[in-house]
Amino acid sequence: MIAIIGAGLIGLSLAYELTRRGGEVRVFDVGEAGGAASWAGAGMLAPDTEAPPSSAMQRLCALSLDRYPAFVKGVRADSGIDPRLHLDGILHIALTANDSERLRARVAASVAEGIPARWLTRGETVALEPSAAGNVIGAALFKREGHVDNRRLGRALRAACERQGVGISAHCGSIAIESDARRVRGLRTTDGFLAADVVVNAAGAWASMIDGLPEHARVPVHPVKGQMLALAMPRGLVRRALWYSDGYVVPRDDGRLLVGATVEDVGFDVRVTADGVRTLLDAVLRALPALRDLALVETWAGLRPGSADGLPYIGFGALGGYAVATGHFRNGILLAPATATMLADIIEGKACVVEPGPFSPQRLADPGNRMTVPA
């Protein structure tokens, strides 16, 4: 039996993968399945635009992006819910000469690494994305990127898991790990004790706070708040995800345009604040003045799980049978399929496609294995 704490996209993707391989899996969450950061994110699949902080992370992100079409196809077939995957590129628009210089250099570096990217003139940008006409002077097109509707993906994964026989217990009053000096024994929840061979901590920003976990097995995870809002747009007004220097917009098929996101170190605070909304609106209207008259239809906030060095924790922790999958920071939705494959391989004792050492939950305890990651 494998017990997973956390029914977000990471925990559910892992449950889905393990069950497809014949494993017996149960998932527990104190909140809603597919909730928290999995619900709050924008669903951007942007390893090239986000420029993750190490080459190992870039490889993992690229691998996960490659897996997305097959992953979504499987989840869709097993759930009957379409997570609305779009891989039509992300445009990073330049509004100043500085932006333009920086983005042209990024495009050149990306192309040199074999990443499909192109610099677009103002005319080419506006032809592709008329909504950017206001102040744009050019744009970097990262061609393989896109977005998925993460709220739909959460519902689809839950349904696909349940159809495969995964027991999902949401809204648990409490969840605690039980262990002896050497290894985990299982989980105790309000429903009683479940013996498990492996317990996986996929509790996102809350992963370091799980009851019953010995101090030496905790990984340092901290919440990084992101506030977002949605505008109602006429169909097709914004055609693809757009980045600008201080934010981004992502179109949803239901006519909402998501605007993100703040990055705030304020603990477990999920209030939407006046300053947060003003910051988002100032940035988006500077970049895309054509959106000025759209109705503001939704605001929300979520907590990204930040790790100590910017890389996720994926693998076994410092206690027998205890595995971790968290710390994905800005890339949890993108990294769900690769995390699931990688951790399922590790649990089954198989070789991973990507070198797992840089992501080991034990890397920070071993100074010889410590990563140096630029801030």
Residue ranges binding ligand GLY (CB under 6 A):
42, 44, 226, 260-261, 304, 330
Q: What share of the chain is helix, strand, coil (3-state, %, to 5)?
A: 35, 25, 35
CB 88 within 8 A of CB 253: no
Q: Classify 32 as helix, strand or coil.
A: coil
First-to-last C-alpha distance (Å) of the chain: 39
Candidates 179, 173, 165, 241; CA nearest to 216 is 179
DSSP conformation letters of 163-194: HTT-EEE-S-S-EEEEE-SSBEEEEEETTEEE
Quick one: tokens of 67? 């897996």
Q: What is the dihedral of CA 43, 236, 290, 240, to 10 degrees?
A: 40
CA 60 – CA 345 distance, rounded (Å)? 14
Q: How far is the CB of 42 from ligand GLY (least distance, A)?
A: 6
Q: What is the DSSP string of 126-141?
A: HHH-GGGTTT--EEEE
Q: How many helices (DSSP H) and strands (DSSP E) are in the chain? A: 9, 20
312 φψ region: left (φ > 0), alpha (ψ -120 to 50), beta (else): beta
- Per-residue DSSP letter, 320: B
Q: How far apart are the C-alpha atoms of 366 and 268, rounded to whole Å?
A: 29
β strands within 202-346, DSSP E: 221-232, 242-244, 247-251, 256-260, 295-307, 313-316, 322-326
Hey, which residues does 223 pair with through a beta bridge? Answer: 305
Separation CA 11–CA 339 (nearest Å): 9
